[in-house]
């Protein structure tokens, strides 16, 4: 799936955009299913549905209405859609993940983050690892583009190479913000790169990479199917922020009886629990 140059680029920069990561049929099925959920949301006035831990599965942006639906998040779509489950564990997207952290890969969680036209949701810069700490950092967040992602519809913005740097504190003045501090933000402003591409592309992102995104200022939707995977020898250190029936399932290769650990003593940021992350889910990618 990946060339040696692509693999080297990922390890150098902490991210990689790959086109045609799923089949045309898979992409059509994902798009059709999400459109059906948008239509379903027209009948709702507040977040609805239920996940494994009885929290709303479908999240609505402020201003949502039947005339102008604003479905912005679906938690664990793989549990309620065969189309999303198929892509999660049977696609070239997964093959690409395995090429980077495999050959043995576990599933952690999934969600859909959508910015429909005019959506005001912005994502402050953060690193995923602090929300899903593991015994090592062989984790990848795969962000699959269900729609074309452009510079104007709220693309993912990353800081190349930041996965090799420190883990930044998400607590400021005793408050959990879910984002890096203003000082760190100012220092990276001129280093960001926007990840764009046609529908069916995937951005593979290292768990420690700094990233965020702006609101959707266009008339085009920006919908991402996000799957988090880990190496089989990586053990979670906190509850899953999106509890699901497929958590820790081997999706590539085989299970491991060993746990590989990395020493994070020098980094020392306070690690929030999975529940803390979920309560801040409006800051999701």
pTM, two decimals, is: 0.91
Task: Supply 78's token pair.
Answer: 């793989």
How much is the pLDDT for 264? 58
115 strand-pairing partners: 222
Question: Of 140, 114, 123, nearest to 225 (Cα)?
Answer: 114
How much is the pLDDT for 86? 98
- 10-residue mean pLDDT profile of the chain (285 residues): values are 96 98 98 98 96 96 92 97 98 98 96 89 91 95 98 96 92 86 88 97 97 92 97 95 97 88 56 43 44
The dihedrals phi and psi of 121, each to the nearest 5 degrees, come to: -70, 125
Residue identified by tokens 């992602």 is 149
Contact yes or no for 77/112 (Cβ under 8 A) = yes
CA separation, residue 248 to residues 109, 181, 239, 251 (Å): 9, 32, 12, 9
Domains of the chain, earliest start first: 4-283 (2.60.120.620)
How much is the pLDDT for 244? 97
Determine the Cα–Cα distance for residues 70 and 142; give it in Å rounded to an integer.
23
How much is the pLDDT for 13? 98
CA separation, residue 149 to residues 26, 92, 154, 156, 215 (Å): 18, 19, 8, 9, 12
How much is the pLDDT for 20? 97
The Cα angle at residue 59 between residues 53 and 60, in degrees rounded to 5: 160
How much is the pLDDT for 11? 97
How much is the pLDDT for 282? 37
Please provide the distance, in angstroms rounded to a whole number, between the alpha carbons at the two ends of the chain: 25
How much is the pLDDT for 66? 94
């Amino acid at each position: 799936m990946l060339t040696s140059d692509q693999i080297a680029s990922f390890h150098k920069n902490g991210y990689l955009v790959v086109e045609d990561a799923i089949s045309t049929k898979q992409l059509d099925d994902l798009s059709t299913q999400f459109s059906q959920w948008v239509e379903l949301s027209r009948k709702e006035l507040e977040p609805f549905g239920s996940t494994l831990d009885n929290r709303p599965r479908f999240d609505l942006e402020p201003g949502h209405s039947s005339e102008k639906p604003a479905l912005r998040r679906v938690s664990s779509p793989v549990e309620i859609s065969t189309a999303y489950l198929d892509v999660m564990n049977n696609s070239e997207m997964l093959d690409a993940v395995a090429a980077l952290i495999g050959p043995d890969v576990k599933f952690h969680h999934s969600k859909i983050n959508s910015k429909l036209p005019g959506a005001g949701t912005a994502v402050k810069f953060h690193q995923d690892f602090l929300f899903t700490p593991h015994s090592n950092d062989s984790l990848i967040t795969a962000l699959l583009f269900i729609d074309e992602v452009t510079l104007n519809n709220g693309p993912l913005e990353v800081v190349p190479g930041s996965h090799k740097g420190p883990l930044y504190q998400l607590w400021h003045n005793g408050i959990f913000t879910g984002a890096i501090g203003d000082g760190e933000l100012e220092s990276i402003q001129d280093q960001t790169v926007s990840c764009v591409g046609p529908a069916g592309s995937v951005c593979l992102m290292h768990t420690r990479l700094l990233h965020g995104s702006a609101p959707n200022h266009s008339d085009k939707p920006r919908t991402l199917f996000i799957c988090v995977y880990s190496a089989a020898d990586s053990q979670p250190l906190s509850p899953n922020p999106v509890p699901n029936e497929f958590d820790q399932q081997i999706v590539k290769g085989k299970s491991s009886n060993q746990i590989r650990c990395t020493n994070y003593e020098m980094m020392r940021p306070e690690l929030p629990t999975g529940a803390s992350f979920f309560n801040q889910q409006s800051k999701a990618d």
